[in-house]
Amino acid sequence: DIQMTQSPSILSASVGDRVTITCRASQSITNWLAWYQQKPGKAPKLLIYKASNLQTGVPSRFSGSGSGTEFTLTIYSLQPDDFATYYCQQSHTSRTFGQGTRVEIK
Amino acid sequence: QVQLQQSGPGLVEPSRTLSLTCAISGDSVSSNRATWSWVRQSPLRGLEWLGRTYYTSKWNNDYAESVKSRIIIIPDTSKNQFSLQLNFVSPEDTAIYYCVRVIDGAFDYWGQGTLVTVSS
């Protein structure tokens, strides 16, 4: 199985900050990488697909980049609604998720 | 607008079969561009993809290695839905189960989630 490792596990930030979350794959997944946001008691919400494509309706302050084994999710100017847990997920071989990054209020 | 509505029991006895159904509106289980998956989430295992069904001139299924010997995902074209059966469950199968539509490898529409507890 392809392992997905996110860092950091917890990120403390303030409204207006730029935050970056990293996801590393145990082998190359080309660009088969998606990012999700999850809030307590809710299903995950798709933000980015194929590494850098913004899902319809997702604010443009969310951006994804990377290919191969290293990927990043950047949130430009963090908003109050963005405090949540973020997951990466690969679909190159089977499907696996990262362990999550919780973005909390500093 | 695609909607996925899950149904099924929230409590299953150990060694029995977990059965959940996902009714689709706004798309078709026979779609040639979407696949239909089950994912579960627990504090112990995080988010875990279990398997999928999809149609490409015939029905296909893929399952995660971790549950491959115990899982069946069944499409039902007459009701436009798909179902999960997980056999011989144990307390480690306690989790929130989600049905999901997948396009281009991304999980874009999710069901509301069903908390399934395995306990006697």
* Bridge partners of residue B72, in order along the sequence: B85
- Which three-class secondary structure state does DSSP give residue A35? strand
pLDDT in tens, chain A (106 residues): 999 999 999 999 999 999 999 999 999 999 999 999 999 999 999 999 999 999 999 999 999 999 999 999 999 999 999 999 999 999 999 999 999 999 999 9
The pLDDT tens digits of the residues spanning B42-90 come to: 999 999 999 999 999 999 999 999 999 999 999 999 999 999 999 999 9
* Residue A25 CB-half CA count within 13 A: 27
The per-residue pLDDT for A10 is 98
CB contacts < 8 Å between A and B, how many? 51
Which residues of chain A have a CB within 8 Å of the CB of B98? Answer: 43
Q: Describe chain A by its helix, strand, coil percentages, rounded to 5.
A: 5, 50, 45
* Alpha-carbon gap: A87 to the closest alpha carbon of chain B (Å): 9
> Residue B103's pLDDT is what?
96
Residue A81 touches chain B, beta carbons under 8 Å: no
Q: What is the pLDDT of residue B20?
A: 98
Nearest to B106 among A43, A49, A99 (CB): A49
Q: State how far the Cα of B117 lies from the Cα of B47, in Å rounded to an integer.
A: 16
CB-based contact A12:A105 (threshold 8 Å): yes
Q: What pLDDT is recorded for position B102?
A: 98
Q: Residue B61: its pLDDT value, please?
A: 98
Of A34, A50, A96, nearest to B107 by CB-CB distance is: A34
What's the pLDDT at A24?
98
For the record, the structure tokens of A25 come out as 């794959």
Q: Hunting for tokens 């362990």 — which residue is that?
A: A99
Report whether the peptide linkage leading into residue B43 is cis, meaning its omega lies within 30 degrees of zero: no
Q: Which one of A46, A92, A94 has the shortest CB-CB distance to B106?
A: A46
Q: What is the pLDDT of residues B86-104, one digit of tens each?
A: 999 999 999 999 999 999 9
The reported pLDDT for the residue numbered B85 is 98
